[in-house]
Amino acid sequence: MMDSPDPGPHIAPMDSTGKTALVTGGNKGIGFAVVRQLAAHGYTTWLGSRDEARGRAAVAALEEAGAGDVRFIALDVTDEASGAAAAARIASLTPSLDVLINNAGIYVKEGDGAPSTVRLDAMRATYDVNVFGPLRVTAAFLPLLRAARGAHVVMVGAGLGSLTLQLDPSQGLSRWPAFAYSSSKTALNALTVGFANELREEGIVVTVVNPGFVATDLNGHAGTLTTDEGAERVLRAVQLPLSATGSFVTDHGTCPW
């Protein structure tokens, strides 16, 4: 995928002194790399995971590697009660949340496809995680985000979410038969803009990031980038100023909508 030549907004140095972060779907893939990098920058980082055993194992591995202050939090993004419980738990231990990374996402291989063949159950399952999940989690953590100074909400999107790129016959994305997944990422872009407009006056920066074609379980590890490279793109969004809120960003600037 080709990025826009737009150099993007100025990125300020990362200041993580005493700050806290939450990453959904943090037990593997890009989310795990984001947790590790945030902790290395000094953030107290909550690793959200639907599967408690996998989540705690991921935290244990990071602790063994000396990654920093990483803590497990049970969080199923498809369950509103789970989000509320996670928010209450974190609120009992810290007065604010500086960074929320909505990373959890799925691709339903069996059932996704072209619009004429995609199964509705695959659409529903995909949207429940990829769109309604970030909506639920962001809403649940708004009180903590509002209590922070200049909080950042980062949605982990995809190049497939760009309608402009999908309409370009020269782009491979135009020939990718995954309507449930791609349209969910387009909807995530819209959700990003909606939250950005709602929260701008409160100083909360909301962006969506295209991490690139990263090798993860989601694509059968066919990606050309490592999870660390994808995570680095996500972390750049944590440093963006308020003027960038509502942006669709990637490695070298912004992506077209």
Please write down the long-range contacts of 127-132, taking CB distance under 8 Å and 24 or more positions apart. Answer: 127/180, 127/184, 127/187, 128/78, 129/77, 129/78, 129/104, 129/105, 130/105, 130/106, 130/181, 130/184, 130/185, 130/187, 130/188, 131/184, 131/187, 131/188, 131/191, 132/77, 132/78
Q: Report d(CA 161, CA 210) in Å as an integer.
A: 9
**pLDDT (tens digit, 9 = 90+) per residue, 220-238?**
666 557 878 888 999 999 9
Strand partners, 225: 214
Nearest to 98 by CA among 53, 60, 41: 41
Give me the average pLDDT of each 10-residue run along the chain (257 residues): 39 67 96 95 97 97 94 98 98 97 95 96 98 98 97 96 93 86 97 98 97 69 72 93 96 89
Nearest to 210 by CA among 192, 197, 222, 196: 192
Output the six-digit token pair for 248.
């669709």
Instruction: Decide: residue 235, CB within 10 A, 0-12 exposed, 13-18 middle, 19+ buried.
Output: buried
Residue with tokens 């990422």: 185
Q: Report d(CA 116, CA 102) in Å as an integer.
A: 30
C-alpha of 116 from chain center: 29
Output the six-digit token pair for 12.
């300020």
Q: pLDDT at position 77, please?
A: 98
Q: Which residues are catalytic?
A: 181, 185
Instruction: Decide: residue 93, CB within 10 A, 0-12 exposed, 13-18 middle, 19+ buried.
Output: exposed
Q: Report d(CA 137, CA 142) in Å as an integer.
A: 9
Q: pLDDT at position 176, please?
A: 82
Q: Report d(CA 207, CA 54) in Å as an integer.
A: 28
Q: pLDDT at position 220, please?
A: 66
For 73, which DSSP code? E
Count CB neighbours of 114 within 10 A: 10
Handedness of CA 239, 105, 144, 153 (dihedral sign): positive
